[in-house]
């Protein structure tokens, strides 16, 4: 069964450093998402991406964050200058079709655990 | 925007008993409600979902009910087993691209 894959699985970075988290969505999917989960808390929506542009973003997704689809397969999340509070598990997700009324399943990757020290 | 509330935050049951987790949502336009199971350190995995044109859906020991009028939906697990122990998240779909908004999660412990 196809899966969303993410790298790295775990990254430790110094505060202020840039981090890039990488994702390969399921190949025939068109809608891509990043979610964040701080340890012990709920999964929080960051951003959705469709047709090579951001569709929606949450309040969390400020100017420090950016997303990119540099080629036909990868989908990346960049944090420009990491803060301690960015420490969390970051999940990439994808779905074949999107839209509020599609009722379509979103599939999650295994996550990238980011620790900012 | 959508707001999803989930209760209880923790739930402990004996093996074989039933477990019920409840969620409410705020946006009456939401029409898709998945439930995810998350084991420690793992990704959320979809276990069941329901669309707003359906009131109940069942898959073996798992069922979900939806009350659109009251804007709440519930997960029911019957004959619980120790391997059901995990954190369960409800979610509601919002936004033009169908982002999921999650509840805070329920930590279910099934004691043998």
* 8 Å CB contact between A110 and A92: no
Cβ pair A31:B44 closer than 8 A: no
Task: List CB contacts (< 8 A) between A43 and chain B.
Answer: 36, 44, 89, 91, 100, 102
* 8 Å CB contact between B83 and B62: no
Q: Which residues pair with A112 in a beta bridge?
A: A90
**Tens digit of pLDDT at every position of chain A (117 positions):** 779 999 999 999 999 999 999 999 998 888 899 999 999 888 999 999 988 999 889 999 999 999 999 887 899 999 999 999 999 999 999 988 765 555 578 899 999 999 999
Radius of gyration of chain A (CA): 13
> Which residue, among B94, B99, B100, would best test binding to A if mutated, counting the most A CBs under 10 Å from its CB?
B99
Structure tokens at A45: 């929506």
Task: List CB contacts (< 8 A) between A26 and chain B.
Answer: none
* 8 Å CB contact between A46 and B86: no
Neighbours of B53 (CB within 10 A): 9
* 8 Å CB contact between B14 and B109: no
Sequence-distant (≥ 6) Cβ neighbours of residue A45 within 8 angstroms: A33, A35, A58, B99, B100, B101, B102
């Amino acid at each position: 069964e196809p899966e969303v894959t993410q790298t790295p699985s775990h990254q430790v970075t110094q505060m202020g450093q840039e981090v890039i988290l990488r994702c390969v969505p399921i190949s025939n999917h068109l809608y891509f998402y990043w979610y964040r989960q701080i340890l012990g808390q709920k999964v929080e929506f960051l951003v959705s991406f469709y047709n090579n542009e951001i569709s929606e973003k949450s309040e969390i997704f400020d100017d420090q964050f950016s997303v990119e689809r540099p080629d036909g397969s990868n989908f990346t999340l960049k944090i420009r200058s990491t803060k301690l509070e960015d420490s969390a598990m970051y999940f990439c997700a994808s779905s074949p079709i999107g839209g509020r009324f599609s009722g379509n399943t979103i599939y999650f990757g295994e996550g990238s655990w980011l620790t900012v020290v | 925007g959508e707001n999803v509330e989930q209760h209880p935050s923790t739930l402990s049951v004996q093996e074989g008993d039933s477990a019920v987790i409840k969620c409410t949502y705020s946006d009456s336009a939401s029409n898709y409600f998945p439930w995810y199971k998350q084991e420690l350190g793992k990704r959320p995995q979809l276990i069941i979902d329901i669309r707003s044109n359906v009131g109940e859906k069942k898959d073996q020991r798992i069922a979900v009910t939806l009350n659109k009028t009251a804007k709440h939906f519930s997960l029911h697990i019957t004959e619980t087993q120790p391997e059901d122990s995990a954190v369960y998240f409800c979610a509601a779909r919002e936004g033009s691209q169908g982002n999921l908004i999650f509840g805070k999660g329920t930590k279910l412990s099934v004691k043998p």
